[in-house]
Amino acid sequence: MTKIKICGIKRIEDIQFVNKYKPQYIGFVFAESKRRVSVDQVRYLKQGLDPQIKTVGVFVNESIDKIVEVLAECKLNCIQVHGDETPQYIDTLKGVLGSQPAGKGVEIWKAVRVKDEKSIAMLKSYVVDAFLLDAFVEGSYGGAGKVFDWKLANLAKSCGRIFVAGGLNADNVSNAVEASRPYGVDVSSGVETEGCKDESKIRCFMDKVKGVDNCEVL
């Protein structure tokens, strides 16, 4: 079954939507973004979250100390680093998390902006729990609403679990899943209307993903 991550959660209404439709993951953005949330916001929102839904904290070129601080306050399940983090940074982060009570069992995901096959080749340098493949857009670390060649994700699967992101919505997610058969898909702006999560778009997006999975079973 293709996992679904809905990123950019920031309102209590968003929590109500995800509790109703049950994506496997939701993302809280701690990096500079119009969807950025504070530690206090996340702690409040998590109070009403279905505990079966896993939480992902999204960071861009953040200090490891800050990530550990946020993790301790918010009790996240996964850390997604979405910037220029090196393999050495990941190794250090992994070691620090392993030594912290709040870091036990926390997954580390590395986001990679995909431009061509060379972008995929760099994945081999990282040892992480999952990769999130986003579209390469000059000057942007993500959230630009652009797609990449989904077939490139097939090349990445030998490196581990793959999430496909970048410009996904209910109109194209079926094609993305069929083209790459990823571990999961990630969506943010594709389930929004005027900058806010839209219940009908979330439902439709998830139905399209489940539809591809059901066809595969048949």
pLDDT digits (tens, 9 = 90+) for 187-210: 999 999 999 999 999 999 999 999
What pLDDT is recorded for position 144?
Answer: 58
pLDDT digits (tens, 9 = 90+) for 57-68: 999 999 999 999
Place of tokens 């904290």: 57
**Pick from 44-48, 144-148, 168-172, 173-177: least confident:** 144-148
What pLDDT is recorded for position 137?
Answer: 66
pLDDT digits (tens, 9 = 90+) for 113-163: 988 888 898 899 999 999 999 987 665 555 556 788 888 888 898 899 999
What pLDDT is recorded for position 23?
Answer: 98
Contact 145, 162 (CB under 8 A): no
* DSSP string across 128-173: -SEEEEEE-BTTBSS-S-----TTHHHHHGGGS-EEE-SS--TTTH
pLDDT digits (tens, 9 = 90+) for 76-116: 999 999 999 999 999 999 999 988 888 889 999 999 998 88
What pLDDT is recorded for position 218?
Answer: 38
Contact 6, 188 (CB under 8 A): yes
CATH number at residue 111: 3.20.20.70
What pLDDT is recorded for position 148?
Answer: 86
Mean pLDDT in the chain?
92
Q: How many domains does the chain have?
A: 1
> Among candidates 14, 13, 8, which has minimal Cα distance to 31?
8
What pLDDT is recorded for position 116?
Answer: 83
Which residues participate in catalysis according to the annotation? 7, 134
Q: What share of the chain is helix, strand, coil (3-state, %, to 5)?
A: 40, 20, 35
* Residue 53 belongs to domain spanning: 3-217
Instruction: State the Cα–Cα distance between residues 216 and 13, nearest whole angstrom.
Output: 33
What pLDDT is recorded for position 145?
Answer: 63
